[in-house]
Amino acid sequence: MKYSRVHMESIGYELPPVVVTSDDLESRLMPMYEALHIAPGQLEALTGITERRWWEEGHVLSDGAATAARKALDQSNVKAEDIEALIYTGVCRENFEPATACAVAAQLGIKDDANIYDISNACLGVMNGIIDIANRIELKQIRAGMVVSCETSREIVEIMIERMLKDRTMDMFSSSLATLTGGSGAAAVLLTDGSFDNEQTHKLLGAANQSAPEHHKLCRWGVTLSPVALGELMFSPDKLLAAIDQVMEPEALPGVVKEIMTNEKIPPSLASMMPSQKLPDALSEFMSTDSVAVLTHGAKLGVKTWGSFLTKMGWARDQVDKVICHQVGEGHRDTILKELGIDPA
């Protein structure tokens, strides 16, 4: 992908007010640390992260995204009514529907013939949104478009801390470590065709993409069934025992319980007994990351993508003056830069 008409007009961001240090999180996890004989300070030592930000409780995602969007507009000569495409690209969304972009567009006063929709692709969403807007501009379909995002880590971190305190195992600690690095924030990227009389814009010259979808299970954030909540919602203890006796053989019980606890679906024999409207109350968020595998396979994919990008752009590695690395963890960042042959300094 190469572009000749696309300008990055401005970038706006909103930083949440609540500072949460790695020491703060570790103090809450001390019972797990003591059980596993983990010395305090490991979270920062392993990730290089001293602090992250959280929104106040009850913060609305579209409010954060709209605030960042206004900041981007204020730095430009573009008005809200000039925006012909608005894409919300966060992992976190307000609802399954409507698109969170609709709530942002309503706050900004985006005109009704603009393209307004969400793109969801984990931490690559903003980049995908930029490419989507850039393609529209390059094809002369629009003059200006905006990508917005707002993420919140407070809720999932709180949930995982609670789970870690209940399951004080090294496996749980290892698979939850990446979750504890997550922070919150909002951002907006304004792209135009360069016709808005702003001499401070930077041209977007091109991009490359590669994927390795076979590794899609290495980092997962979603919802799963809470077996305790499920049991409480469905049955009293006496009724539960009677129902189990009716629908399954005694020797089948361990397998079914295991299925409820480890999968994202209810066995049909039990699902038929539970009113569907109660199902959401039995669901809870989870996040699990195989950090070692993510680093190993991510570095390989990064090298492949970097090579593709340099080839498409006709650049040599030593012509690149500045690199902004996605990885928040210090170890991951240093590893990928080393693999790419880039000096972190």
| Residue (of 324, 75, 67, 322) closest to 200 by Cα position | 75
In sequence order, what DSSP letters do the residues of 251-262 get, joined into one string? GGHHHHHHHHHH
The beta-strand segments (E) located in the chain are: 7-14, 18-21, 51-54, 85-88, 115-118, 144-151, 185-192, 202-203, 219-225, 283-289
- Residue 123 a catalytic site member: yes
Q: Where are the domains of the chain?
A: 7-203, 213-218+290-340, 224-283
d(CA 151, CA 149): 7
Q: Which of 44, 123, 158, 330 is catalytic?
A: 123
Fold of 7-203: Peroxisomal Thiolase; Chain A, domain 1 (3.40.47)
The whole-number pLDDT of residue 214 equals 96
Q: What is the pLDDT of residue 306?
A: 94
Contact assessment for residue 146 and residue 83, using Cβ atoms and an 8 Å cutoff? yes
pLDDT at 263: 47
> What separation in angstroms does the CA of 146 have from each of 87, 97, 98, 278, 330?
6, 20, 18, 39, 30
For residue 275, the model assigns a pLDDT of 47
Tell me if 115 sits within 8 A of 84, measured CB to CB.
yes
Q: How confident is the model at residue 344 (pLDDT cuts 50, 70, 90)?
A: confident
State the pLDDT at residue 247: 53
- Please report, as a single letter, which amino acid is at residue 107: Q
Per-residue pLDDT at 226: 62
Among the ranges given (62-66, 75-79, 285-289, 302-306), the one the predictor scored with the smallest mean pLDDT = 285-289
pLDDT higher than 60, residue 183: yes
How confident is the model at residue 267, as a pLDDT?
55
β-bridge partners, 115:
85
Note the pLDDT of residue 262: 46
Active site residue 97: yes
Rounded to 5°, the CA angle 200-107-77 comes to: 20
Close Cβ partners of 344 (under 8 Å, ≥ 6 residues apart): 333, 334, 337, 338
Q: pLDDT (tens digit, 9 = 90+) per residue, 218-276? A: 988 887 766 555 555 555 555 555 555 555 555 555 555 545 444 445 555 555 554 44
Across residues 202-223, what is the average pLDDT? 92
For residue range 39-91, list pLDDT tens digits in order.
Answer: 999 999 988 899 999 999 999 999 999 999 999 999 999 999 999 999 999 99
Which is catalytic among the residues 56, 57, 97, 199? Answer: 97
